[in-house]
Amino acid sequence: MVEFIEGGITTPQGFKAAGVHSGVKYRSLDLGMLYSEVPATAFKAFTSNKVKAAPVQLMINDNSPKLSAVVVNSGNANALTGRRGYEDAETMQKAVAKELGIDPKTVGVMSTGLIGRFMDMHKVQYGISRAAKELDVGRNADGLLCESIMTTDTIKKECAARVRLQDGTLVYISAISKGSGMISPHLKALHGTTLTLITTDAVLTSEFSHEFQRTLDDSMNMVSVDGDQSTNDTCIMLANGLAGGKPADKDENFIEALRMVMTKIARTIAMDGEGATKLITVEVNGAKTKDDARLVVKTVINSPLVKSAIFGSDPNYGRVMMALGNSGAEFNLEEVHLVIKGGDLEVPILDSGAPVFQEERSVEVVRMAMDNKEVILQLDLGVGSESAVGWGCDLTYDYVRINAEYST
């Protein structure tokens, strides 16, 4: 049984964290570090955007199977910075390695912030030196690392859980993430930024990489705030094995725990979308293929018209059907069912492709359902048995304001 607990990134055995102010940002914490006391098996996934930031390029080129530390900065994405940016990412890697006495190839690098600005390496190296000295365990250290990676985020995104494996071993899984804009991840293993770190003291081998990708496909890759995939999206999972026991590669309890942790993180990212006031959950059933189900989810979530309607609690379900029709997925209009849920209300909208209601009073019930912090759209495509679920947020005036003023 999976149990969510009060905890953070250092909850699993053998992990330490720190977050400091290096000066890249004017006042806020802007540099964080995660350290494993023993080299950890690393599972990495990166943006599929062809314009990749320097840290992403470096990590792909290194592709080390083990990591001992990860350094992350906010305030500067180190993207579109050419050869100098790549060398700056290498310098960050080497600086951490020197401070901790480890191999530079076992240091991961992540960055987020403004694109097209060179790093101030004097400040970054100062921050790395401070962070290495302040590595610690516990909720304060967890919080400092969370805060150091935030940009337009308004809340810390962290989650911890414990689960007993089938061999009786008790293991912990924790995750932190940042992201509120430029978010539509398409993370691919071994290949708004959303930066995500996952720690576990379970024993895992390289065989788990396929399950790691499947977990991402059903969680982080089903989040979309604005449909724009970042140049810096990175997800790193470290498994240091200090809990002992057998490898958990195929342990159903561990797999379920990881999926639950990552789903919770994904929902939190969507809820904290830039300017968001509502969480949108789209559940698709009856699809012919898994790809079709995922495609419909992302198309509906990314539709500016759907997002605007939900922001205004406008019961214009035609926008949902418009998005379905534009998705390219196969469906049978005469068998399509649409339900809108919010709060305690569950309102059937379409039954076999025809409207369930016409009266103004019924329209008001739909409006009431949409006037909740979470609005759930349930679609049955009527052509198969595959399903998918994803999360997004409404499109508000504040989203435009935040992104119109981002660099200033």
Q: What is the CA radius of gyration of the chain?
A: 22
CA angle 71, 154, 47 (to 5 degrees): 45
Total Cβ atoms within 10 A of residue 173: 26
Please identify which of the residues 47, 193, 199, 234 carries the catalytic annotation.
193
**Residue 390: which H helix or E strand, with range?**
strand 386-393
What residues contact 178, with CB distance under 8 A and at least 6 apart?
A: 74, 112, 146, 149, 150, 151, 153, 157, 193, 194, 195
What residues contact 26, with CB distance under 8 A and at least 6 apart?
A: none
Q: What is the C-alpha separation between 313 and 315, in angstroms, rounded?
A: 6
CA angle 321, 322, 325 (to 5 degrees): 85
Q: Mark 354-369 as b/e (b = at least 16 C-beta within 10 Å).
A: eebbeeeeebeebbbb
200 annotated active-site: no
Q: Look up residue 359 and give its two tokens.
A: 């009266």
Q: What is the C-alpha separation between 125 and 36, in angstroms, rounded?
A: 20
Token pair 């993180």 in the structure block, residue: 265
Cα dist from 41 to 35, 241, 285, whole Å: 13, 8, 36
Q: What is the C-alpha separation between 68 and 100, in angstroms, rounded?
A: 9
User: Residue 48 has what DSSP assignment?
Assistant: -
CA angle 177, 395, 53 (to 5 degrees): 40
β pairing state of 386-393 and 279-287: antiparallel
User: Residue 228 has what DSSP assignment?
Assistant: P
Amino acid identity, position 114: L
| 209-218 helix and 252-271 helix, angle to the nearest 10 degrees | 40
Q: What is the C-alpha separation between 108 and 92, in angstroms, rounded?
A: 9
Q: What is the C-alpha separation between 30 and 44, in angstroms, rounded?
A: 22
Amino acid identity, position 375: V
Residues annotated catalytic, as ranges: 193
